[in-house]
Amino acid sequence: MLIIVSCLLFFVTALALMVLLITQPNARYAWLVAVGGGTLALVSVFIWLAQMPFDLALPAWKPLTLFLNPISFRADGLSWPFAVSISALTLTILLTVVSQPAFTNSYTWAGTLALGGLGILAVTANNPLTLLLIWSALDITELITQLRSVNGAANNEKVVTSFSTRAFGSFLLLWANIVSIAAGSTFNFQSIASGSGLYLVIAAGLRLGVLPLHLPYSSESTVRRGFGTALRLISAASSLVLLSHVPAGSLSSALTPFLTSLGIIAAIYGGWMWLRAPDELTGRPYWIISLAALSIISALSGNPLGVVAWGCALVLVGGALFLSSVQNIWLNRALLVGVWSLSSLPFSLTASAWLGNLGFFIPFVIVAQALLIAGFVRHALRPGGRDSLDTQESWTRSVYPAGIILLVALQLVLGWIGWDGALQVGAWLQAIIASLLTFGLVWATPRFRILNPIRAHWVSSTISRMDNAYQGLWAIYRLLARISTAIITTLEGESGIMWTLLFIILFVSLITQGVR
């Protein structure tokens, strides 16, 4: 029941904002309503700790022979850190919006709250049917948002392509469900058939842009901070949670080392592009790809706790950085707590990240992790050039930092309490090596040109080269579409009746010859 309470707080608050927007568009207390609902939702997620684990199952759908499992949700030591991270991100977005030159009640506030509620439902989903329904809602939301925020036929085509890759990932999850049912087991995330594990990993990797390496959404979108950050990070968390349910016993396959290699390539490439991105928002796609790749590597090494650790770091550490829109030296230094959170040192947020069996992949994982952390340090200590917090109103100077500090503090809290990966020593030697390599990269970045930030148009050209690698399949699709259109036009034209009669005569002739 607590899951429903938390989600309803988000959804009801979003509905209240919509009503206020229609009836009283200039209401000054709309922001207080939004922040109040977000705060209550975050507090309610912390109350889960008193009852975990617990389940919530809705009435079963009919026919029962088709829907073997009802819509169900589960709060436990793996889903709770995701839920609290998403709730805190949602509240922080509403708190930091005060730094905008003019902020009024808008659809984006309601949309952010609704995304927070969908995110909690996604990370607590207890079977594929439930997760597929929520994935569909998130994908449709992102499709509509992207189509409204890009211009031109080429960019619209990229949006549809991105949506198609996520839809194919959803299909793989559905296929894993079919494989499990064919094996005679009722598929939920506590009893996964041995042949379904790799399907789940590939499904998540495809939605996240890791397997194969691609951008899971159009880079030309004007959606940036605020709602854009919520959409990107919550969508990624909803896919990462699937990896946390993959048991190690279902990954004993000859494909596992190959998939791990692909994950390492994506992690190193994403970390490298993140390090050299001109700013944090331009590099955000690579932040997501790199952390998603590290999560997939953890899952393939038989460590679901590592998936949760990297997933929470993606939301909390990345959210604090991407929502920092004004310049303040003390807040920039506070963001460096994210270095500790990403380091996998003992008792940090990611201390449980490398408890699995990585074997000879360890050196490559260390390089990917160091590139990620070094890039974060460079973006956190970014130079001036944006509005200063000191120029804001007095109440804004108190509210805005509170939002950023909330995410920073929660990074420290999750390292100690609340979930199965808290209070872990972890692979401390590997963490120390990664930290030393990070210090070396931070020292070398301003001294070696190859490590210096590249201009935004170079990032765009790199993205274009990645997209070109997948244009072959899209060209085949367009060719088939043109052939189909030509056939339909022919049949629907003036000569359509003649062509139809000719096809009928040929069909009858073939049947007659077969009978003889």
159-183 tens-digit pLDDT = 777 788 888 888 888 888 777 777 6
Model confidence at 21, in pLDDT bands (50, 70, 90)? confident
Q: Which residues of 229-238 are buried (b: 16+ CB within 10 A; e: fewer)?
A: bbbbbbbbbb
Pair 91, 42: CB distance under 8 Å: yes
Model confidence at 221, in pLDDT bands (50, 70, 90)? low
pLDDT of amino acid 457: 46
Is the pLDDT score of 334 beyond 80?
Answer: yes
Candidates 295, 338, 305; CA nearest to 319 is 338
Provide CB contacts within 8 A for 485, sequence distance 6+.
none
pLDDT of amino acid 2: 87
Model confidence at 515, in pLDDT bands (50, 70, 90)? very low
pLDDT of amino acid 224: 67
Lowest mean pLDDT among 109-113, 344-348, 358-362: 358-362
Is the pLDDT score of 247 beyond 90?
Answer: no
Distance CA 185, CA 181 (A): 5
pLDDT of amino acid 226: 82
Q: At what angle do helices 30-47 and 2-23 cross, to 10 degrees?
A: 180
DSSP 8-state secondary structure symbol assigned to residue 73? E
Strand-pair partners of 57: 72
Provide CB contacts within 8 A for 457, sequence distance 6+.
none
pLDDT of amino acid 105: 59
Model confidence at 43, in pLDDT bands (50, 70, 90)? very high
Model confidence at 234, in pLDDT bands (50, 70, 90)? very high
pLDDT of amino acid 183: 67
Mean pLDDT in residue range 301-307: 90
pLDDT of amino acid 492: 58
pLDDT tens, residue by residue, 79-131: 999 999 999 999 999 998 887 766 665 788 899 999 999 999 999 998 888 89
Mean pLDDT in residue range 304-324: 93
Lowest mean pLDDT among 296-305, 413-422, 479-488: 479-488
pLDDT of amino acid 510: 62
SS (H, E, C) 116-171: HHHHHHHHHECCHHHHHHHHHHHHHHHHHHHHHHCCCHHHHHHHHHHHHHHHHHHH
Q: Considering the chain, what is the average pLDDT of its residues? A: 82
Q: How many CA atoms lie within 13 A of 237 on its CB side?
A: 38
Model confidence at 13, in pLDDT bands (50, 70, 90)? very high
pLDDT of amino acid 169: 87
Is the pLDDT score of 490 beyond 70?
Answer: no
Mean pLDDT in residue range 53-82: 80
Model confidence at 280, in pLDDT bands (50, 70, 90)? confident
CA angle 226–124–355, rounded 5-degree value = 95
Is the pLDDT score of 63 beyond 70?
Answer: no
Mean pLDDT in residue range 188-199: 76
Residue with more model confidence, 377 or 483: 377
Share of the chain above pLDDT 70, in %: 79
pLDDT of amino acid 482: 66
pLDDT of amino acid 497: 61
Mean pLDDT in residue range 456-475: 53
Distance CA 6, CA 120 (A): 8
Lowest mean pLDDT among 83-87, 89-93, 384-388, 447-451: 384-388
pLDDT of amino acid 24: 84
